[in-house]
Amino acid sequence: MKRVLISGAGIAGLTLACCLADFGWQVDVIEKAEGERKSGYMITFFGNGWGVAKKMKILDPIKEIRYPFQEFQYVDSLGKPYFNVRLDLVRKGFGQEYTYLRRPDFERILLERSKELSIHVKYKTQVAQVNEASDSVSVSFQNGDINSYDLVVGADGMHSGVRKMVFGEENQFSRYLGYGVAAFQTKYRGEIGGSVKIHQETNRSAIYYPVSEKAMDCVFMFPWTAERVPKENYKSVLLETYAGSKWISQDVIKRMPEQGIEYFDVLKQIQMQTWTKNHVCLVGDACACLSPLAGQGASMAMLEAFVLANELKKSASVKEGLLRYESILKSDIESRQIQAIHLTHRFVSTSTQETAWNRLVTRLEFSPLLVGRTAKVFKGKIHQI
């Protein structure tokens, strides 16, 4: 029985853990967070991840999660809709393989599947040192424990600690896209109503999701130049960035809950020449981050984890499996990263002319005549599962 350490209990890490456990591996999962995440932003789920979820027998619980909104409304400075996108039309374009769920929903479903496979996640635990031998990896943990593994996987996100230890500093691999994104949930709903509202202004935009009668998720996107922002400054940064903004943005930020912003980061992509090194590899945002605005992060993370597990199962050695995993997916990820850069400009326009153009393109993309083609472009290459 081969033994694997997976650092990170997010979507990529838990998917990989379930797949490898199903294939007979002994799986250890560690996570630096205090425990299961209860907060997180809304994500779209479609494409390659759909087939992986079906294979993992978690598609039904994913489809059961339905939030009350049935359409997106693009609104002007007074909150009046100038364009509607019906979700039933979008789902039809995607062959009904399209849904919305919050990140904690996704991780809860994966954790429940992990428990069915007797996988235990050890929280408040981090890797301190990685030492590679010819056919194994010795891992020292921050609590002083030392264990040996056939494979170590960094599934610990864009700011991966495993990547830093084994492959080098983050700045070697990060491509800054010039924008920031912040997300949180609030009980203040303002004039949101029952539809998702998208409000775009020059150099800033906001999306409001009515997740219940008493709460909404908020996502703010804006040009940003600082690499990191201290947590205590998140609110003041948003207030300054959205000063003079029309409609409800300033009111929403001022009424931000006491626990603060759930997610605040610069938009980056991680671009690496290789995702593997001997008996260590990376998966998900640790090696193939598209950007949070690409809309495919969860789906592609699941695909990467599934392909990695499947190639390890089929290969004569761990090293062979790692190389096959990378060769199957790397060129596709690079193409999607290029697509994601273009998509980012659709969310945050830099001029009134660009805003007008984006509105026209969006109307065309989600028209009944073209929504099927739009779905095909967004899904990209569909890999055989």
Q: With contact defined as beta carbons under 8 Å apart, do 304 and 12 qualify?
A: yes
Tokens of 213: 């009668």
Which is it for strands 196-201 and 263-270: parallel, antiparallel or unpaired?
unpaired
Task: Rounding to the nearest 10 degrees, give the CA dihedral for residues 89, 91, 94, 95.
Answer: -100
**pTM beyond cutoff 0.85:** yes
Answer yes or no: is 198 within a domain: no
Tokens of 23: 């294939």
Q: Cα(184)–Cα(259) distance, rounded to whole angstroms? A: 9
Q: Cα(250)–Cα(246) distance, rounded to whole angstroms? A: 8
Which residue(s) pair with 208 in the sheet? 197, 218
Which residue(s) pair with 27 in the sheet? 4
Answer yes or no: is 107 within a domain: yes
Answer yes or no: is 196 within a domain: no
The tally of domains found in the chain comes to 1
Answer yes or no: is 169 within a domain: yes
SS3 244: coil
- Provide the pLDDT for residue 258: 65
Answer yes or no: is 335 within a domain: yes
The secondary structure element, H or E, covering residue 63 is helix 59-64
Which is it for strands 276-277 and 280-282: parallel, antiparallel or unpaired?
antiparallel
**Could you list the pLDDT tens digit for every one of the 385 residues in the chain?**
899 999 999 999 999 999 999 999 999 999 999 888 887 888 899 999 999 999 999 999 999 998 989 999 999 989 999 889 999 999 999 999 999 999 999 999 999 999 999 999 999 999 999 998 888 999 999 999 999 999 999 999 999 999 999 999 999 999 888 888 999 998 887 778 889 999 999 899 999 999 988 889 999 999 887 767 778 888 888 999 999 998 999 999 998 876 677 888 888 899 999 999 999 999 999 999 888 777 788 999 999 999 999 999 999 999 999 999 999 999 999 999 988 887 777 788 888 888 888 888 888 988 999 999 989 988 888 898 8
The secondary structure element, H or E, covering residue 287 is helix 285-288
Tokens of 304: 């990467």
Answer yes or no: is 79 within a domain: no
Which of the 8 DSSP states describes residue 350? S
- Provide the pLDDT for residue 16: 98
Answer yes or no: is 129 within a domain: yes
Nearest Cα residue to 101 out of 110, 92, 93 = 110
Biggest CA-to-CA distance, the chain: 64
Task: State the residue for tokens 């997976």.
Answer: 6
Tokens of 33: 């967070």
- Domain range for 112: 3-67+96-174+268-356+374-379
Q: With contact defined as beta carbons under 8 Å apart, do 144 and 1 qualify?
A: no
- Provide the pLDDT for residue 117: 94
CATH code: domain of residue 161: 3.50.50.60
Q: Cα(276)–Cα(259) distance, rounded to whole angstroms? A: 38
Contacts of 145 (CB under 8 A, 6+ apart): none
Q: Cα(207)–Cα(212) distance, rounded to whole angstroms? A: 15
Answer yes or no: is 22 within a domain: yes
Q: Cα(278)–Cα(259) distance, rounded to whole angstroms? A: 42
